A = this chain, B = another copy of it.
Amino acid sequence: MVNKTENTEEKIIAAARRVFIRKGMDGARMQEIANEAGINKALLHYYFRSKDKLFDRVFAESFMPALQTIKLVFDEAKDVDSFIEGFVRNYIALLSENPYIPHFILHEINRNPLRVVGQIKSSHFDRERIAKMVATEVNGKRIRAFDPVHMMVNLVALCVFPFVAQPIIQGFLFDGSEADYQQFIDERSRHIVLFVKSAIYLNHPQ
């Protein structure tokens, strides 16, 4: 029964995804994944020969969509202004729906840098387009003369960090209040856009 297969496979992936994200590759247990999927260990190995292969599959399925979302913004931005706005809004929206992905990916980046960098490279980001857009507007005296690499890192940092540091922000800055943290996240993309634009635009309104 093909249908049954797909259901089980999807159930496994979904369970594995939750467990790997919670515990990381090393901390995750096949038994825990099996329990969470409502099946037994042997079946995991029937579908995905080994823990490594299962992890690879889960990682790719978590990472690729995130990469594609960002790539779209890179490819479609027309000027610095729309790039910042598009990048921040799309990225924060993506992370709000998958709040644990950033830590999962960052952890894997440090565990296995080459694989992750390879996957990024193979998706052919056009960094030059952004750099040229920035250069044009710097020449036109519309924005300060910032290094585009620093700007990219700033943008990603401002978006990603609130999610990887969620336990501290909620636990310490908001004394454990989930509602306060949620409101903070809801304000976040508006805040970042304003913050970054204020930083780079000469003669920024307000």
Contact B106 A150 (CB under 8 A): no
Q: Check A31 for interface membership: any CB of B closer than 8 A.
A: no
This chain's copy number in the assembly? 2
Q: Are A162 and B158 in touch, CB under 8 angstroms?
A: no
How far does the Cβ of A165 sit from chain B's closest Cβ, in whole Å? 7
Q: Counting CB contacts under 8 A, is A95 at the interface?
A: no
- In whole angstroms, what is the CA distance A26 to B26 when docked? 6
Q: Mark A132-176, 1 if CB is under 8 A from B, else 0.
A: 000000000000101101101110111011101101110111000
Q: Is the interface of A mostly helix, strand, loop or mixed?
A: helix
Contact with B along A107-134 (1 / 0, CB 8 A): 1011101101100110000010000000
Is A103 interfacial (CB 8 A cutoff)?
Answer: yes
**In the complex, what distance in Å separates the CA atom of A137 from the CA atom of B103?**
35
Q: Least Cβ distance of A97 to chain B in Å?
A: 18
Contact between A157 and B162 (Cβ–Cβ < 8 Å)? yes
A78 at the interface (CB under 8 A from B): no
Contact (Cβ within 8 A) B157 A110: no
Tell me if A98 is interfacial: C-beta within 8 Å of chain B.
no
Tell whether, in the assembled complex, residue B117 and residue A164 are in contact, meaning their CB atoms are under 8 Å apart. Answer: no
A75 to chain B minimum Cβ distance, whole angstroms, is 17
Confirm or deny: A30 has a beta carbon within 8 angstroms of a beta carbon on chain B: no
Instruction: Give me the interface of A with B, judged by CB distance under 8 Å.
Output: 23-27, 103, 106-107, 109-111, 113-114, 116-117, 120-121, 127, 144, 146-147, 149-150, 152-154, 156-158, 160-162, 164-165, 167-169, 171-173, 184, 187-188, 191, 195-196, 198-200, 206
**What are 13 sample pairs from A and B whose C-beta atoms fall under 8 A apart?**
A24-B27, A113-B167, A113-B171, A120-B172, A121-B172, A144-B206, A149-B173, A149-B184, A153-B165, A153-B169, A157-B160, A157-B161, A164-B164
